[in-house]
Amino acid sequence: MDCKVCNNRMIKTSDFTYDEILDFINGEKEFYSLILVEKEKNLFGHIEVKKSLNFRKIKEINKNKIKLYGLASPLTDGKVSINIDNFKITYSIIEITDEVVKIIKSYVEQTGKKYFSNTKLNNYLWKKSSLKRLCEFEKIELNKSEEFVDLDEEFPF
What are the boundaries of each domain within the chain? 18-139
Q: Are 107 and 131 in contact (CB under 8 A)?
A: no
* pLDDT at residue number 148: 47
* pLDDT at residue number 153: 54
Which residues have C-beta within 8 Å of that of residue 6, sequence separation ≥ 6?
84
Neighbouring CB atoms inside 10 A of 86's CB total 11
* pLDDT at residue number 81: 92
18-72: pLDDT as tens digits: 888 888 888 877 788 899 999 998 877 788 888 888 888 888 888 889 998 888 8
Neighbouring CB atoms inside 10 A of 108's CB total 17
111-134: pLDDT as tens digits: 888 888 888 888 898 888 888 888
3-state secondary structure the chain: CECCCCCCECCCCCCCCHHHHHHHHCCCCCCEEEEEEEEEEEECCEEEEEEEEEEEEEEEEECCEEEECCCCCCEECCEEEEEECCEEEEEEEECCCHHHHHHHHHHHHHHHHHHCCHHHHHHHHHHCCHHHHHHCCEEEECCCCCCCCCCCCCCCC
Average pLDDT for residues 91-95, to the nearest whole number?
91
* pLDDT at residue number 147: 47
Which residues have C-beta within 8 Å of that of residue 93, sequence separation ≥ 6?
33, 34, 35, 36, 66, 75, 78, 79
